[in-house]
Structure 1
């Protein structure tokens, strides 16, 4: 994604989290609102510590890449809304 490549504020951890979110989006066949769990995002992004995860996840929100809607009900996953213009290419 060129938008992410050109943003010099993003580092490897931001990219790892965005890749994890986009991976889940593809698996769910969703390109706007994706259901996520912290455990799954941490595993997919290879982030091992909670402080690192929270720091970079929060920064993605502050930079306007995502909106996070937490679910406090254990039966439902939280949601991440992508604020990127994603071009969907069907193979």
Structure 2
């Protein structure tokens, strides 16, 4: 299997690997977001649900999920746009 990573993707991975603030749960969430982006064939804007991200990142408790998800926003890795409409999913933009 060949993995093709763009220059931007490699720079993003380097940024994640070199950021000492990130813990295993941050990286698990970013990996889950990247997997959803791949499955949705999206580059930057990904439609998400909390339950799906929690399951894919193996995070079992809602407070833990919210803590690390919020930190990813504060650290500048993602931009979260919530949707309060039941027919539309919230989105995440990879920054």
TM-score by shorter chain over 0.5: yes
Q: In the alignment, is residue 34 of structure 1 matched against residue 46 of structure 2?
A: yes
Q: In the alignment, is residue 50 of structure 1 matched against residue 62 of structure 2?
A: yes
Name 1:70's counterpart in structure 2.
82
Q: What is the Cα deviation at residue 37 of structure 1?
A: 0.3
Count of aligned pairs between the two proteins: 83
Q: In the alignment, is residue 12 of structure 1 matched against residue 24 of structure 2?
A: yes
Counterparts of 2:19 and 2:37, CA distance in 1 = 21
1:12-40 CA-to-partner distances (Å, cap 9, x unmatched) read: 00000000000000001111100000000
1:28-86 CA-to-partner distances (Å, cap 9, x unmatched) read: 11111000000000000000000000000000000000000000011111000000xxx
Q: Which runs of 4+ in 1 moved over 3 A?
A: none
- Stretches of structure 2 lacking an aligned partner (at least 5 in a row): 1-12
- Stretches of structure 1 lacking an aligned partner (at least 5 in a row): 84-91
TM-score, normalisation: structure 1: 0.89
